[in-house]
């Protein structure tokens, strides 16, 4: 970071710090807001890159935190209180079967996270609440369902699942019966009455995962809001640097509607990139009368048209409907 600070762009070897430095300089010198967009397919390293960019921007423009390390034993205390064990015991953590990464020490990461929370001014009470909600989500993911007594209904499988449900309810501070009803039934309000239907096991699992996702998303938004407030984001500030870390393109055997939207956003970005890099570069070559050999690239505009053009949109939904859950009415 020391090396890249104030070094003109292109002088040192290419590095994400050089990009962060260029945007910081441009913001300072020209007084203009900057955007950094981190793109690449899934797993390419966008999120890691984003972290490095933020680390650099904090280094050149922010305030550094103090270095008071807390005891690693907190971690074990934390695990005991929330009845957590090894990650391999939790459905939401064990699907990759990878629990250790070279060069990553979970205990250290935990201590760093707690320290960062201290620095941005998240109270210890709120920190506890964050870990409690996360633990609740993990327990929620371990609730399994088997067919209930009535056809197409579901019930919690066994004592182990019941324990996780009890834990989830305790940590969410909600009524366990209400949680059970939320997972195993669907209620609909009609003008006349409230209709309650049983859900089969697949629907109960889908509901469980949807609940976990939405609580996680709420927690994430809450943390972002909290951080923005406590780092004293200046609401009157005229200029800023925005860093966008998007979800990467990924193709699964069955793509969810969510992944479809992510892939669509990535294709749009790629098209933007093609237009700007290739077209503008070509224009510059033409202007300077440099011999230009066309660069071959895959142009997916047809795919975008298929999705974007209003008259064709419904067709896409129609083609996709066997693969993903979609609304049963045409999109407006
Ligand atoms: N610079 C790096 N140094 C070390 N490891 C890295 C680096 N960049 C990426 N990785 C490894 O690759 C993994 C995936 O990177 P990352 O999470 O940043 O991907 P991503 O592009 O954000 O993916 P997605 O689109 O799915 O969010 C990381 O967990 C890390 O193990
Ligand atoms: Mg990412």
Considering only residues 164 and 240, tell me which one the structure prediction assigns the higher pLDDT.
Answer: 164
- What's the whole-number average pLDDT of the chain? 85
The yes-or-no verdict on residue 327 having pLDDT over 50 is no
- Are 58 and 64 within 8 A, CB to CB? yes
pLDDT at 319: 58
Residue nearest to atom 23 of ligand 1 (CA): 43
The yes-or-no verdict on residue 326 having pLDDT over 70 is no
pLDDT at 75: 56
Mean pLDDT within 227-232: 72
Q: Please, which residues bridge with residue 155 across strands? A: 146
| Residue carrying the six token digits 């939401």 | 92
Q: What are phi and psi of 145, to 5 degrees?
A: -125, 145
- Are 137 and 212 within 8 A, CB to CB? yes
Q: Are strands 154-156 and 185-189 parallel, antiparallel or unpaired?
A: unpaired
Q: Establish whether residue 43 lines the binding site of ligand 1, counting it when its CB lies within 6 angstroms of any ligand atom.
A: yes
pLDDT in tens, 244-277: 888 888 888 888 888 889 899 988 988 888 888 8
pLDDT in tens, 148-200: 999 899 999 999 999 999 999 999 999 999 999 999 999 999 999 999 999 99
Q: Establish whether residue 103 lines the binding site of ligand 1, counting it when its CB lies within 6 angstroms of any ligand atom.
A: no
- Are 154 and 184 within 8 A, CB to CB? yes
pLDDT at 331: 47
- Are 304 and 267 within 8 A, CB to CB? yes
Residues in the chain: 332
Mean pLDDT within 218-225: 93
pLDDT at 255: 83
Q: Considering the chain, what percentage of its residues have pLDDT values greater than 70? A: 87
E-strand ranges in the chain read 34-38, 145-147, 154-156, 185-189, 194-198, 241-245
- Are 109 and 75 within 8 A, CB to CB? no
The preferred substitution site among 48, 51, 104, 250 for testing ligand 1, maximizing ligand atoms within 8 Å of CB, is: 48
- Known binding-site residues for ATP equal 40-47
pLDDT at 312: 64
Considering only residues 121 and 137, tell me which one the structure prediction assigns the higher pLDDT.
Answer: 137
pLDDT in tens, 71-118: 445 556 677 888 888 899 999 999 999 999 898 888 888 888 888 888
In eight-state DSSP terms, residue 275 is: I
Closest of 47, 65, 28 to residue 240, by C-alpha: 28
The yes-or-no verdict on residue 323 having pLDDT over 50 is no
Q: Report the nearest atom of ligand 1 relative to the CA of 52.
A: 1
Question: 48 CA distance to ligand 2 centroid (A)?
Answer: 7
* All residues at 6 or more sequence positions from 224 whose CB lies less than 8 Å from its CB, including other chains: none
Q: Establish whether residue 98 lines the binding site of ligand 1, counting it when its CB lies within 6 angstroms of any ligand atom.
A: no
Residue nearest to atom 9 of ligand 1 (CA): 45
pLDDT band per the 50, 70, 90 thresholds, residue 228: confident
pLDDT at 258: 85
Q: Please, which residues bridge with residue 38 across strands? A: 245
Encoding tokens for residue 161? Answer: 């699942």
How far is residue 251's CA from residue 277's CA, in Å, rounded to a whole number? 25
Spell out the domains of the chain, with CATH numbers in brackets. 1-64 (no CATH), 65-245 (1.20.120.720), 257-320 (1.20.58.530)
pLDDT at 66: 42
pLDDT band per the 50, 70, 90 thresholds, residue 288: very high
Least confident piece of the model among 67-76, 123-132, 281-290: 67-76
pLDDT in tens, 305-322: 888 887 666 666 655 554
Give the H or E element holding residue 160: helix 159-172
How far is residue 182's CA from residue 211's CA, in Å, rounded to a whole number? 9
Q: Considering the chain, what percentage of its residues have pLDDT values greater than 90? A: 45
């Amino acid at each position: 970071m020391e090396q890249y600070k104030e070094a003109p762009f292109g002088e040192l070897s290419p590095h994400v710090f050089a990009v962060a430095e260029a945007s910081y300089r441009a913001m300072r010198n020209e007084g203009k807001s900057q955007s950094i967009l981190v793109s690449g397919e899934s797993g390419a390293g966008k999120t890691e890159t984003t972290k490095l960019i933020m680390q650099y921007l904090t280094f050149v423009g922010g305030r550094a935190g103090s270095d008071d390390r807390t005891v690693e034993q907190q971690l074990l205390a934390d695990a005991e209180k929330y009845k957590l064990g090894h990650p391999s015991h939790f459905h939401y953590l064990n699907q990759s079967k990878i629990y250790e990464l070279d060069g990553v020490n979970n205990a250290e990461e935990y201590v760093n996270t707690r320290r960062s929370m201290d620095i941005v001014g998240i109270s210890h009470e709120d920190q506890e609440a964050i870990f409690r909600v996360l633990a609740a989500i993990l327990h929620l993911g371990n609730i399994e369902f088997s067919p209930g007594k009535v056809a197409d209904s579901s019930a919690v499988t066994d004592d182990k699942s019941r324990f996780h449900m009890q834990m989830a309810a305790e940590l969410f501070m909600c009524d366990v019966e209400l949680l059970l009803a939320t997972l195993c039934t669907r209620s609909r309000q009609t003008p006349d009455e409230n209709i309650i239907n049983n859900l089969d096991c697949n629907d109960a699992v889908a509901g469980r995962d949807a609940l976990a996702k939405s609580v996680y998303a709420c927690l994430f938004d809450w943390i972002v809001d909290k951080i923005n407030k406590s780092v004293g984001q200046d609401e009157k500030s005229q200029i800023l640097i925005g860093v966008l870390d998007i979800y990467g393109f990924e193709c699964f055997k069955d793509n969810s509607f969510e992944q479809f939207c992510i892939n669509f956003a990535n294709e749009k970005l790629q098209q933007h990139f093609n237009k700007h890099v290739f077209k503008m570069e070509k224009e510059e070559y033409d202007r300077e009368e440099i011999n230009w050999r066309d660069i071959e690239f895959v142009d997916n505009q047809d795919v975008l048209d298929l999705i974007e053009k209003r008259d064709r949109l419904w067709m896409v939904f129609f083609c996709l409907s066997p693969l993903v859950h979609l609304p049963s009415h045409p999109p407006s």
